[in-house]
Amino acid sequence: MPHYQPPLRDMHFVLDELLDLNAELAQLPAHAGLDATTVHQVLEEGGKFAAERLFPLNQTGDREGCHYDAATRSVTTPRGFRDAYQQYVAAGWPSLACDPAYGGQGLPVALNNAFYEMLNAANQAWTMYPGLSHGAYECLHAHGSEAQKQLYLPRLVSGEWTGTMCLTEAHCGTDLGLLRTRAEPQPDGSYRLTGNKIFISAGEHDMAANIVHLVLARLPDAPSGTRGISLFVVPKFLPDAQGEPGERNAIGCGAIEHKMGIHGNATCQINLDGATGWLIGEPHRGLNAMFVMMNAARLGVGMQSLGLTEVAYQNALAYARERAQGRSLSGTKASSAPADPIIVHPDVRRMLMTARAYAEGGRAFTSYVALMIDRELNHPDDAVRREAADEVALLTPIVKAFLTDNAWIATSEALQVFGGHGYIAEWGMEQYVRDARINMIYEGTNTIQSLDLLGRKVLMDQGEKLRRFGEKIRHFIVAQSADPAMAEFITPLADLAEKLVKLTAEIGGKAAADPEEMGAAAVPYLRVAGHLVYAYFFARMAKLSLTRAAGGDPFYQAKLATARFYFARLLPETAMLIRQARSGAASLMAMDFS
């Protein structure tokens, strides 16, 4: 049976020691009264909910899956999901980082983010129900009319209603410009929506009284392509005069998908048969409004992958300590046993350390991005807010793609630690691998994230956002250059930073002559950028740990060991990636597939 222990010690290290949460919050008037102690108390309680309430439903939810009843077009979630959700709502968890004006607790994004890591580690399929609701909350909060906010936000904040994002159609996934769902204006100011959406997560279920679908559709006068897409709020039950769920709207679930992982989350075909909806924001500007939700969801998907990386690591570690096979190459370690535990073998340790390093690097990086979002939302100085927003925009595709690729690697390595037992359902490891796979696909595939990073965030911006983030890295490098103990971290960090600058210029030059060059380089480019970010955070964590390890706390020794492993074993991948990125488009485009 798998187990899960919330990684609270490492969260405290990252939030307090590495990122100085107290000082950050003190700059933000909305959070100035909050201290790290309160944050820790919330995380401790949140960790208990995740480990004690959600984790036991993870394997059972995977085995049972969701049930669809065609007669009523209803979906029943796996046993226990509904009760856990009601408990979650009763405890006020959905409102954690929401606006107090709508019943929220107004706590920082950084706290919510850490909470979501634990929820996802415990049960990704379950966590998608409240996760999507939070995205819908953010979108309506940013773009809804006052009346829409008053109606929907308090109910999304309390968790009484849940939300979805309805973009995908059978012929239209990545290329949203192809979407066909129509919205016709009605005399009363509402719209009548007709069309078919597919793959809608949490599109139908039995967990909440109403479902608030955010639907992309075209108005009759819409220009073609992405410039003709509008966003609508389409509730499952039309709210009555008191805002309570009233008449059933003509939007419903036609089927649910049978799929590789996240079986406890209902992936729905959603049919709109003249459903009533209301426009959110400006006509034809729906994609712009939906980007709020999509960006939140991209960070959310990164957190799904971080959770899976952590839980897979914890289980592989426990197994490697117990499982006895063979003898250590350097001589017997467990002389009273017929064999040594497999943790003595160098390659088993490589697999464990890979998962551990990706978990710790990912936690430091995503906590930083979450704090930048808090700055972007709440800092009193406009210029600071804008700078934080630019940084979040630059780093979001890296969070989404780098963390999800790493989780695929990490869960697979963690499974491998179990040998054949990892492939057997009982141990839970194969579920982590299956669940991790979708994260590389939805919310914009990782290819699309890479094109977004290299094309839009770096080249279209003449490298300005990248240069400003690079300045932070450069300052750190300069500040550490006199410390010989930091050389093992700073030298490779500085080397990679320089190589990324050169690589960016080279691809930019080639792409100006042939745009295929950008498409050919984007995926390895994002991975190089991801490694640069991780190298920066591991170097910063190493700096702290070098100073604090002298106190004898084994936590800091372990942190240093992980940082050293990262630089020795994972970062060198960048040499190959840079060669791939530089190799150009020719070898990809030469084949005549006809």
Ligand X SMILES: Cc1cc2nc3c(=O)[nH]c(=O)nc-3n(C[C@H](O)[C@H](O)[C@H](O)COP(=O)(O)OP(=O)(O)OC[C@H]3O[C@@H](n4cnc5c(N)ncnc54)[C@H](O)[C@@H]3O)c2cc1C
In this structure, what is the dihedral angle of CA atoms 6, 7, 8, 14, given to the nearest 10 degrees? Answer: -150
Task: State yes or no: residue 289 binds ligand X (CB under 6 A).
Answer: no
How far apart are CB 37 and ligand X at their closest, in Å?
37
Rg of the chain (C-alpha set): 24
Q: How far is the CB of 261 from ligand X (least distance, A)?
A: 8
Contact call for residue 362 and ligand X (CB under 6 A)? no
3-state SS record for 411-452: HHHHHHHCCHHHHCHHHCHHHHHHHHHHCCCCCCCHHHHHHH
C-alpha 143/C-alpha 43 separation (Å) is: 30
Closest separation between CB of residue 500 and ligand X, Å?
Answer: 22
Total residues interacting with ligand X, rule: CB under 6 A: 18
Residue in 443, 464, 488, 573 annotated catalytic: 443
Residue 281 interacts with ligand X (CB under 6 A): yes or no: no
Residue number, 31 or 298, with CB nearest to ligand X: 298
Out of 123, 249, 267, 367, the residue judged to bind ligand X by CB under 6 A: 267
DSSP 57: G
- Smallest distance from the beta carbon of 24 to ligand X, in angstroms? 32
- The reply to whether 126 sits near ligand X by the rule CB under 6 A is no
Q: Any contact of residue 585 with ligand X (CB under 6 A)?
A: no
Write down the least CB distance from residue 201 to ligand X, Å. Answer: 3
Binding region for ligand X (CB under 6 A) out of 8-16, 376-384, 437-445, 571-579: 437-445
Q: Is 387 helix (H, G, I), strand (E, B) or coil?
A: helix
Amino acid at 161: W
Measure Cα distances from 593 to 327, 504, 514, 590 in Å. 51, 30, 21, 9
* 229 interacts with ligand X by CB under 6 A: no
Pick from 51, 167, 532, 539: which binds ligand X (CB under 6 A)? 167
Residue 174 CB, shortest distance to ligand X, in Å, is 3
3-state secondary structure 84-122: HHHHHHHCCHHHCCCCHHHCCCCCCHHHHHHHHHHHHHH
Work out the angle at residue 388's Cα, subtended by the Cα atoms of residues 384 and 392, and round it to the nearest 5 degrees: 170
Cα dist from 575 to 164, 519, 525, whole Å = 41, 20, 11
CB of 219 to ligand X, least distance (A): 19
- Residue 447 binds to ligand X (criterion: CB under 6 A): yes
For position 515 contacting ligand X by CB under 6 A, the verdict is no
Residue of minimal Cβ distance to ligand X: 173
Our answer to whether residue 443 is catalytic in this structure is yes
* 183 forms part of the interface with ligand X (CB under 6 A): no
Interacting residues of 95 by C-beta distance below 8 A, sequence separation 6+: 103, 104, 105, 157, 158, 159
User: How far is the C-alpha of 353 from the C-alpha of 573, rounded, in Å?
Assistant: 15
193-212 residues in contact with ligand X (CB under 6 A) are: 199-201
| By the rule CB under 6 A, 176 interacts with ligand X | no
The Cα 204–Cα 73 span in angstroms is 9
Residues forming beta bridges with residue 341, ordered by sequence position:
324
Cα separations in angstroms, 239 against 13, 101, 168, 511: 46, 21, 25, 51
Please state the length of the chain.
Answer: 594
Does 7 help bind ligand X (rule: CB under 6 A)?
A: no
DSSP-derived 3-state class of residue 585:
coil
Residue pair 53/84 in contact by the 8 Å Cβ criterion: yes
- Report if residue 77 touches ligand X, rule: CB under 6 A: no
Nearer to ligand X, 197 or 559 (CB): 197
Nearer to ligand X, 432 or 565 (CB): 432
Angle between helices 516-549 and 573-582 (to 10 degrees): 160
Of 433, 430, 429, the C-alpha closest to 404 is 433
Among 448, 501, 544, 561, binds ligand X (CB under 6 A): 448
Using DSSP's 3-state secondary structure scheme, residue 20 falls into: coil
Nearer to ligand X, 259 or 327 (CB): 259
Is 232 near ligand X (CB under 6 A)? no
CA triplet 9, 537, 498: central angle to 5 degrees? 170
- Residue 128 Cβ, how far from ligand X at the closest point, in Å? 8
Binding to ligand X by residue 434, rule CB under 6 A? Answer: no
Smaller CB distance to ligand X: residue 85 or 442? 442
Region of 189 (left: φ > 0; alpha: ψ -120 to 50; beta: rest) is left
Q: Nearer Cβ to ligand X, position 211 or 343? A: 211
Residue 418 as a binder of ligand X (CB under 6 A): the answer is: no
Q: Is 259 in the site for ligand X (CB under 6 A)?
A: yes
Give phi and psi for 468, each to the nearest 5.
-70, -40
Among 58, 113, 120, 168, binds ligand X (CB under 6 A): 168
SS3 592: coil
Q: Which is nearer to ligand X, 162 or 378 (CB)?
A: 162
CA distances from 329 to 320, 340, 565 (A): 16, 10, 20
Which parts of 551-580 interact with ligand X (CB under 6 A)? Answer: none
The two tokens of residue 201 are 């997560």
Comparison of 304 and 378: residue with beta carbon closer to ligand X: 304
Task: Point out which span in 26-34, 166-174, 407-415, 454-462 binds ligand X (CB under 6 A).
Answer: 166-174
Q: Using CB under 6 A, which of 441, 497, 544, 585 touches ligand X?
A: 441
Q: CB-wise, 200 or 560, nearer to ligand X? A: 200
| By the rule CB under 6 A, 526 interacts with ligand X | no
| x-marked contacts with ligand X along 19-48 as a string, rule CB under 6 A | ------------------------------
| Complex with ligand X: residue 6 or 61, whichever CB lies closer | 61
Decide: helix, strand or coil at residue 185. strand
State the greatest distance between any 2 C-alpha atoms of the chain, in Å, as a whole number. 84
In the bound complex, what is the minimum distance in angstroms from residue 442's beta carbon to ligand X?
4
Residue of the chain from 105, 288, 328, 445 that contacts ligand X (CB under 6 A): 445
| Amino acid type, 14 | V
Report CA-CA distances (Å) from 359 to 365, 366, 400. Answer: 10, 10, 14
Which of residues 37, 38, 41, 174 is near ligand X by CB under 6 A?
A: 174
Nearer to ligand X, 142 or 448 (CB): 448
| Unique residue bearing structure tokens 């993870």 | 58
Write out the catalytic residue numbers: 443
Residues that bind ligand X (CB under 6 A): 165-168, 173-174, 199-201, 259, 267, 438, 441-442, 444-445, 447-448
